[in-house]
Structure 1
Amino acid sequence: MTDTTRAPLALVALFCAAETFSMAGFALVPSLLPRLSEQWSLSATEGGWLSGIFFLGYILAVPLLVSLTDRLDARRVYLACAGLSGIALAGFGSLADSLSAALCWWSLAGLGLAGTYMPGLKAMTDRLPVAVQSRATAFYTATFGVGVGLSYLWIELLQGLMPWPSLFAVAAAGAALSVLLVWRGVSPGKSSLRPRVGHGQWHNVLHDRRILAFCGGYFGHNWELFGFRAWLVAYLTWTHAMSPDAWTARPGWIAALATFLAVPASILGNEGAQHWGRKRWLQSVMPLSCILALIVGLSGSQSSRLLVPVILVYAASMNLDSAALTAGLLTETPPEQRGTALALYSSIGFAGGFIGPVAFGAALDAFGHNTHAGWAAGFVTLACGVGCGRWAIGRIESQGSGIGRQ
């Protein structure tokens, strides 16, 4: 199905804008983690759970919501779940007064993301000519970084001007705006007449080694990426407390810049994968990211004038595989199985997004959250995450997978 009412460029721009607005609240918990940890007397492990529960909500909902788009117009799923995101954000801001309440509302926000991120991608690609789907996917997945970066940025600008519950109200308004954009700007499509996704289709997807390779790579990518984003502001806050410096005085600015770097890195990564081959590209950039994670961990005792540039280089490197993985999955999956494949991809991938923040927090508690050793151990967990992703790709490939065929 293609959308004949809009040119491809306009359609991609609309979905990217909607994605950006829907993610206005994405960085709220990571940005406010030092404040919430102090207010609710949280351990580092509990802080990791608060950050990671978002992705647990995501992975519990995504198999149903994304596979549903093989039968229903993905636009309908997107609209319902973007509205749910707004409700969850408003509920957190007005009703979360303890860790348990915050966990409930933040997991619901993650469920909302499950129904907007990949369903939004499918709603967009369903309406685009095949020839432009790969590059459109790269821009859409890169916009995830734009949304996260802008989330860090506006929170950094406003958190000193209003109480933290009001920040959640602002983010809820962003989710409402994304609903309005898609509702008014994207014409409804026809639902498929195909029967409900059954065991046969799941069997086909689960036994496709190319799909499993991309899922394993995405698991490692998200473990590293979201573990890093969950703890970056807290890490820079600790660094500034140990050695005050203008570079770390506004950690939200550094976190936003680190996230914005994901955009060109992700697009460049997809172009590199198309030029040099997806398999070769992923096998090169994932070990590079692993090495840089260890370098950042070892650089924590250095001057922030050295540490911050290293963090920014690392932040860019960890996104060189993002669009290459997602575009690879889409281009190598038959159209009638894409919803199911994306459901599996998202479930496995965002399981890494849940594990990353929790593993980082556990390492902090184990080695000392006020010590360089504790933070270094946290970054080691990130290296382990992307290492798992690289191992998964290599393991499946050695069994004869055709991963990366162009």
Structure 2
Amino acid sequence: MTRAPADLRWLGALCLAELGTMLVWSNFAAVLPLLQTEWHLSNTEAGLIFAAYQVGYILAVAILSTLTDWVEPRRIYLAGALWAGLSGLAFPLWAQGGASALLLRTLAGIGLAGTYMPGMRLVAERFDAARRGFAMGCYIATFTLGTSVSLLLTSWATARWGWRAAFALTALGPFLATAVASVTLKPGGVSRGPRPERGVGLAPVLRNGSALRLIVAYGAHTWELMGMRGWIVPFFAASLTAGGTSLALATQKAGLAAAAVLAIGAVSHPIAGLFSDRWGRARLISVIMLVSGACSLTLGWALQWPFGALVTLALFYGIMVTADSAILSTSIAESAEPAYLGRTMALQSTVGFSSGALAPAVFGAVLDLAAKLGRPAPETWGWAFTLLAAGVLVGPLVVGFKEPARPRL
């Protein structure tokens, strides 16, 4: 008797839990234009606060993902979801300016480290290679969908009750995720691979050339993705205010438009994953990254386009910028030695989210530098997005178009 229906129900429940944990992801980006005014933040400071969430993730993920080689991922996932809820509530209670926001967003990133990669490992180990790309695509699509729902919910609640109430509302998501995951993830529910040798550290991962090339490509992917996600709301708001819209209304409209851009990206994950299960992964990764880079380059110089045309281009960009994510993560899992899957994923996350944390900060710094040099707004945004496009092109250079050896997992 096939396990497919039970597996899909399990995957659906895990995705629902992951959606809950992601509700705190984009709440800061959704109100960034308002907080820049309220707290007198420069673009560089705003970018650093957005990046702080990834920094917290990076500080924790190497430990927590490596622990999944020894400890059931279920236990780490539940603890991470609970931490995400508590830290999510702390921000509206105690954030009073740039310094406190930086600290609290850093602490919040630890919750993501405890849920995202441990959950991904659970999916990779439950599904075989013939179904893994699609399953990973569904799981990672939830990440993308969650960032969009977070933007939408925060924008909607901020317009009605203010940003502190909106942040408190989004913090309820991880608590609901804890409840769902505690029922779905049964002890011993996923078969475990062989135990790693003690004391070898990252050496087996660093000797794995196939995995390392894919991890570098993952870093290029997250550079572009996180840079865009961190600044798409201010970019849309800048377009609207240049046309005479008030800052408050522009922020609300920009948040809704950005939520659509992020949400549509969720569609490409399972579709691209399904195609990669049938057609191969490397070629698809490289083609998607080339198209995504072209979109990034075009969008950055389109600030003065009619807003409808700008959002239309951004929607296509939203599809392409996420389409390679599930294929990259699946390929990394398949290229890893099974005994060292946890620490391979730890290195993947450390490289990827370090790049993703750096991108919004560098993006903001480019905006500030261009403004100091007296460049007009369309040009400042153009150069910032050009930097994202340049970074993502590293991916096709290291992955190429040749398919790797047979999966190990």
TM-score using structure 2 length? 0.91
Q: 2:395 aligns with which of 360, 381, 389?
A: 389
CA contact (8 A) 1:67 1:340 kept: yes
Count of matched residue positions in the alignment of Structure 1 and Structure 2: 398
Alignment partner for residue 380 of structure 2, among 361, 374, 377? 374
Structure 1, residues 96-146: CA drift from partner, whole Å, max 9, x if none? Answer: 112111111101111110110010122344445565333211110111111
Aligned to 2:357: 354
Q: Any idea what the Cα deviations from partners look like across 1:251-283, whole Å, max 9, x if unmatched?
A: 122111111111121222223333332121122
| Counterpart Cα distance in 1 of 2:326 and 2:289 | 13
The change in CA–CA distance for 1:159 and 1:300 in structure 2 (over 3 A counts) is same
> How many angstroms apart in 2 are the aligned matches of 1:403 and 1:300?
40
* Aligned residue in 1 for 2:368: 365
Alpha-carbon distance change, 18 to 249 in structure 1, aligned in 2, over 3 angstroms: closer
Task: Name the CA distance, whole Å, in 2 between partners of 1:313 and 1:247.
Answer: 22
Letter in 2 for 1:372: P
Any idea what SS the aligned residue of 1:347 has?
A: helix
**% identical aligned pairs:** 31
Equivalent in the alignment of 1:183: 182
2:276 pairs with 1:276: no
Confirm or deny: 8 A CA contact 2:196 2:340 kept in the other structure.
no
Q: Which residue of 2 aligns with 1:326?
A: 329
Matched, 1:251 2:254: yes
CA distance in 2, matches of 1:176, 1:48: 28
**Map of 1:63 onto structure 2:** 62
1:192 CA drift (Å) = 7.0
Task: Please say if residues 37 and 43 of structure 1, whose CA atoms lie closer than 8 Å, have aligned partners that are also in contact.
Answer: yes
> TM-score normalised to the size of structure 1?
0.91
2:314 to 296, 311, 315: 311
Q: Secondary structure at the match of 2:187?
A: coil
- Deviation of residue 315 (structure 1)? 1.4
Residue type of the alignment partner of 2:397: W
Per-residue deviation, 1:147: 0.8
What corresponds to 1:237 in structure 2?
A: 237
User: Which residue is 1:344 aligned to?
Assistant: 347
The offset of 1:348, in angstroms, is 0.6
User: How far apart are the structure 1 equivalents of 2:188 and 2:131?
Assistant: 19
What corresponds to 2:203 in structure 1? 203
Mean alpha-carbon deviation: is it higher for 184-193 or for 173-182? 184-193
Once the two structures are TM-superposed, the CA of residue 198 in structure 1 deviates from its matched residue by: 4.4
* Secondary structure at 1:318 match in 2: helix
Matched residue type, 1:32 = V
Relative to structure 1, is the Cα distance of residues 391 and 262 closer, same or farther in structure 2, using a 3 angstrom cutoff? Answer: same
Determine the structure 2 residue equivalent to 1:90. Answer: 89
- In 1, Cα distance between equivalents of 2:28 and 2:90: 14
How far apart, CA to CA, are the structure 1 residues paired with 2:308 and 2:132? Answer: 41
Cα distance change, pair 403–126 in 1 and its aligned pair in 2 (3 A): closer
Q: How far apart are the structure 1 equivalents of 2:12 and 2:270?
A: 15
Report what 1:264 is aligned to.
267
Q: Which residue in the other structure is 2:80 paired with? A: 81
Paired residues of 2:214 and 2:331 also in contact (CA < 8 A):
yes
Comparing 250-259 with 42-51, greater Cα deviation is found at 250-259
Displacement after TM superposition at 1:403 (Å): 3.6
1:332-389 Cα deviation digits (max 9, x unpaired): 2232221111111111111111011011101100112971111111111211221233
Distance 1:197 1:83 in 2: 31
Shift, 1:87, TM fit: 1.3
Deviates more, 1:268-277 or 1:319-328: 268-277
Preserved contact between residue 71 and residue 192 of structure 1 (Cα < 8 Å) = no
What does residue range 137-176 of structure 1 map to in structure 2 within 5 Å?
Answer: 137-176=136-175
Structure 1 match to 2:294: 291
Question: Do the aligned partners of residues 255 and 405 (structure 1) sit closer, same or farther apart at CA in structure 2, a change above 3 Å counting?
Answer: farther
CA–CA distance in structure 2, aligned partners of residues 365 and 235 of structure 1: 14
Comparing 68-77 and 202-211, the one that deviates more: 202-211
Alpha-carbon deviation of 1:69?
0.4
Q: Aligned Cα RMSD in Å?
A: 2.5
Q: What stretches of structure 1 of length at least 5 have no aligned partner?
A: none
Instruction: State the match for 1:41 in structure 2.
Output: 40
SS in 1 for 2:255: helix
Distance 1:404 1:156 in 2: 46
Which consecutive unaligned segments of at least 5 residues does structure 2 have?
none
Does the 8 A contact of 1:222 with 1:349 survive in 2?
yes
Structure 2 equivalent of residue 134 of structure 1: 133
Alpha-carbon contact 1:205-1:337 (below 8 Å) kept: yes
Find out whether 1:217 has 2:211 as its counterpart.
Answer: no
Question: What residue identity is the alignment partner of 2:19?
Answer: T
Verify the 8 A CA contact 2:272 2:326 in the aligned structure 1: yes
**Which digits, 9 at most, give the CA deviation of each residue in 1:26-62, with x for residues without a partner?**
1111111111111111110111101111111111111
